[in-house]
Amino acid sequence: MILSLTEQSSKNMENKVWPVQPQKSLRFKPLAELCVDHGERPKMPALDGVTDEHKKAGTHLAAIHRMHLRDMNYIGQLIENVKSGGASAAALAEKISTVELTENMRQFGTLCGRECQVLNFHHDAEEQMVFPQLEQQGIIDLSLIVARLKEEHLVIHELLNRLQDAANQLVAEQTVENFFTTEALFLQLLKVVKSHFGYEETELGDALGKFVPFI
């Protein structure tokens, strides 16, 4: 099965190189350019012999992702709570001294920082325990997908680093400028994470069940 998949993939291998970008190259990129859905993402051919038991791993991964997205959506709701007195910077500035607004902004910054840590742990676990198991299978398309996911992790980690810094600044000083900086970073991260999670679930679901026994 592995040999047949490799043979099917090898003809296109030369045109399917997905180099992992050095993280340093992302440091000075504009926020709008920190995205993951550019170009053509590698696709996974159907695997032979996939059972219902194998498919449970993909379901488990999706459940983990939904947990992260639920937490991020909660943070998004908190953004709206902060802005409920007026969406403009001027309106926020007028209310900046109120205890409730200040506390909401502080909580927003704290939750953003906490979610940064959780997502970092999730990706570190994948790269240290899951991806090596998949790369060892000798399936070219699968290896290309893993390489692309690693590249996307770098983008997400850059966003996480920026968001962590912005969140810390917001917790220290609840200003309108700090709030909108943190909000922009959070919304970009949410967009990128949704795209990344969807791609990972679609392409790795069956492979996780077949090749990663501890999932």
Query: pLDDT tens across 159-180, in order?
Result: 998 998 998 888 888 888 998 9
Distance of CA 63 to the CA centre of its chain: 15
Residues 70-89 pLDDT 10s: 989 888 888 887 777 554 55
Mean pLDDT (the chain, rounded): 80
Among 112, 110, 92, 78, residue whose Cα is nearest residue 186: 112
**Once rounded to an integer, what is the mean pLDDT over residues 15-44?**
77
Q: How far apart are CA 138 and CA 3, in angstroms?
A: 8
Q: How far apart are CA 61 and CA 19, in angstroms?
A: 25
Residues 6+ apart with CB under 8 A from 192: 34, 35, 36, 152, 155, 156, 159
Decide if pLDDT at 23 tops 90.
no
pLDDT for 114 equals 85
Task: Decide if 61 contacts 25 (C-beta within 8 A).
Answer: no
Do you know the residue count of the chain? Answer: 215
Burial class from Cβ neighbours inside 10 Å (0-12, 13-18, 19+) for residue 148 reads buried
Task: Decide if 31 contacts 188 (C-beta within 8 A).
Answer: yes
Class of the CATH-defined domain 52-211: mainly alpha
Q: Which of the residue ranges 91-100, 129-138, 201-210 would you say has the lowest mean pLDDT?
A: 91-100
Decide if pLDDT at 194 tops 70.
yes
Sequential DSSP letters for 68-121: HHHHHHHHHHHHHHHHTT-SSHHHHHHHTTSHHHHHHHHHHHHHHHHHHHHHHH
Q: How far is residue 95 from each of residues 32, 104, 176, 180, measured CA to CA in Å? A: 29, 12, 10, 15
Residues 102-150 pLDDT 10s: 677 778 888 888 888 888 888 888 888 889 989 998 999 999 999 999 9
User: Domain ranges in the chain?
Assistant: 52-211
Gyration radius of the chain's alpha carbons: 20
